[in-house]
Amino acid sequence: MEEIEIVIVGAIFLLVIAFAKGNKKKPSKRSKPPVYKKPITPKPIKQPVSLDPIVGGCWVIDGDTIHIGSNKIRFQGINAPELDEPYGKQAKWALHKLVKGQTIRAIPNGEKSYDRIVAKCFLEDGTDLAAEMVKLGFALDLPNYPDADYRHLETPASRKKLSWKPPKKKETDDD
Q: What local confidence, expressed as pLDDT, does residue 158 receive? A: 83
Contact 66, 116 (CB under 8 A): no
| Domain regions of the chain by residue span | 54-162
| Bridge-based pairing state of the strands 104-113 and 54-56 | antiparallel
Burial class of 11 by CB neighbour count within 10 A (0 to 12, 13 to 18, 19+): exposed
Contact 74, 113 (CB under 8 A): yes
pTM above 0.85, yes or no: no
Q: What local confidence, expressed as pLDDT, does residue 175 receive? A: 47
Distance CA 109, CA 118 (A): 6
**pLDDT tens digit at each of 175 positions of the chain:** 667 777 677 777 776 776 666 655 665 566 666 666 666 656 655 666 789 999 999 999 999 999 999 999 999 999 999 999 999 999 999 999 999 999 999 999 999 988 999 999 999 999 999 999 999 999 999 887 777 789 899 888 887 888 755 555 555 555 4
The fold for domain 54-162 equals: OB fold (Dihydrolipoamide Acetyltransferase, E2P) (2.40.50)
Q: What local confidence, expressed as pLDDT, does residue 4 receive? A: 74
